Structure formats: C-alpha cells, structure tokens
Amino acid sequence: MSALTAPPREGAPRLAVRGLSVRFGGLAALDDVSLHVDEGEVVGLIGPNGAGKTTLFNAVCGLVRPSAGSIAVGGLPLAPDPVRLAARGVARTLQGLGLFRGLTVRENVLAGRLDAHDPGSDTQRQLADLGLAEHADRPVGDLPYPDQKKVALARALVAEPRLLLLDEPAGGLGTDDIAALGDLVRHTAATGCAVLLVEHHVDFVMGVCDRVVVLDFGRVIASGTPDEVAGDPAVDEAYLGIEVTAS
C-alpha cells in the first residue's frame, strides 16, 4: 500500500505543518511555520494581505514547493501531487469562485465527486443540503454571487473531505449568509472533518474557530483560542488598527 492510499494514522492530526518555509526568489512568503488541525477542529488562519495564508494552502495542495519543512495529512507525509489530494480526503475552495461558468450548478458540483460510485445522488443530496436543488440545472453564472459561493462550497463538501481548506468563504457575503456559513462550517467539523479557514472577516473567524493562527510576513506571530489571540498586542499591531474582537 502506498503512502498516498494508506489509511490515516490513529491519533495523528489531520493536518500537521512543521517548520514550513516557501521562498519566491528573495521573498520568504512562509518562514518556519508550524501549525496543526485535529479531527473535528476549525482552525482560523488570519493575517494582513501578503502574510502568506494562500501560500500555505498552495503548499498543502502541492502547488508550490517548500524550501524547508514538512506537511503531513493524517500522519502521512504529503507527496507534492495535487491530483492525488482528493484520494487523501483533502478538498479546497478558492479565493475566487473557481467555477466552470459554462456548466450548470449540478455539473459544477459533480466535478467534486467524479470518483464516486454514484456521484449523481451525492451531488443531489449536497445541492439539497445547501438549498440549491431548485437551481441544479441552471448555468452557474446565472446565480447571484452568494449562491455561486455556495456552489463552490458544495463542490468541496460533496467529496466528504477529511480535511477542508476554505479560502475566504465569507468574502462578498451579507450578514445572513455569513451566519449560515458559520453554521455549515461548524456542522462540517461536527462530522469529524478538520477545517482550516483563511478569512479576512475577523469577527466571523473569532466566532466559528476553535483556535486561530496569525501570520504576518510569513511568520506565526500568535496562536491560541479566539480570546487569547484577540487579546494579543502583536495581532493588533500587525493589523494596524483594524479592530480584532472575540465574539
């Protein structure tokens, strides 16, 4: 059995990042970053623009090559092969929508579950869970932006991931949709999925996460519960006056 198809090691974090560094020429986008996400946990990854959040996601997905450090999923080292991520139970949403605009809602969600025995029924259930069933056969580009964000989420969730990477899921959403998103994230974690959440909407992060890790200039400057992080002066300083509050 290869490391890619082996079951996760019992007791190991779903995601363990140790001493990770990523360089782009002379720029250290990530510098000795360590973090972990356990089964059923929601961990927020926050920090100002350019702090390295998306680079960390890209490293986990094998899209950028670290210059140092290691990444393990379920206790097993991660091979730099984005195509095999789904087989390891990893799903991701993108900062933009990343949808196939010429396809219907159903076809977009189906794209997240092409390996399944009966992808059609999984897709239908996921669409119903997110209130998208009545839009299933519409071109995805015809839906309002919040519903398109839901389609992108549905495409990740239909794979029943064990590790879910969410890149700015609350971006562009109104208050009610953000509240519903928070419920969905917590519900997903309650099924045992580990969630790593990159988000600029700090109140949302503080309300939904069990722990928060703060990056600035590629380094971890704070980590802990939302209350611990919100009270950390280094975090206020990194955000240059943006209010950081725990709900």
Ligand X SMILES: Nc1ncnc2c1ncn2[C@@H]1O[C@H](COP(=O)(O)OP(=O)(O)OP(=O)(O)O)[C@@H](O)[C@H]1O
**Within 13 Å of residue 128, how many CA atoms lie on the same side as its CB?**
6
Among 15, 33, 43, 51, binds ligand X (CB under 6 A): 51
Q: Looking at 8, 13, 44, 47, which residue binds ligand X (CB under 6 A)?
A: 47
Answer yes or no: are the C-beta atoms of 165 and 89 closer than 8 Å.
Answer: no
In 3D space, the residue among 224, 239, 76 whose CA is nearest the CA of residue 84 turns out to be 76
Specify whether the CB–CB gap between 234 and 222 falls below 8 A: yes
Span near ligand X by CB under 6 A; candidates 22-30, 99-107, 177-185, 233-241:
22-30
Which amino acid is it at 70? S
- Among positions 15, 29, 91, 105, the unique one binding ligand X when judged by CB under 6 A: 29
Among 50, 139, 171, 231, binds ligand X (CB under 6 A): 50
Residue 33 is a binding residue for ligand X (CB under 6 A): no
- Please state the closest distance from residue 190 (CB atom) to ligand X, in A: 27
Smallest gap from Cβ 198 to ligand X, in A, equals: 7
Query: Binding of ligand X at residue 171 (CB under 6 A)?
Result: no
Residues 29 and 55: beta-carbon distance below 8 Å: yes
Query: Could you say which of 55, 108, 188, 223 contacts ligand X (CB under 6 A)?
Result: 55
3-state secondary structure 168-232: CCCCCCCHHHHHHHHHHHHHHHHCCCEEEEECCCHHHHHHHCCEEEEEECCEEEEEECHHHHHCC
- Name which of 52 and 62 has its Cβ closer to ligand X: 52
User: Distance (Å, rounded) from C-alpha 230 to C-alpha 243?
Assistant: 9
Q: Which stretch binds ligand X (CB under 6 A): 12-20, 50-58, 105-113, 158-166?
A: 50-58
- What is the residue whose two structure tokens read 């059609």? 120
Q: Which of 8, 13, 52, 207 binds ligand X (CB under 6 A)?
A: 52
Interacting residues toward ligand X by CB under 6 A: 24, 27, 29, 47, 49-55
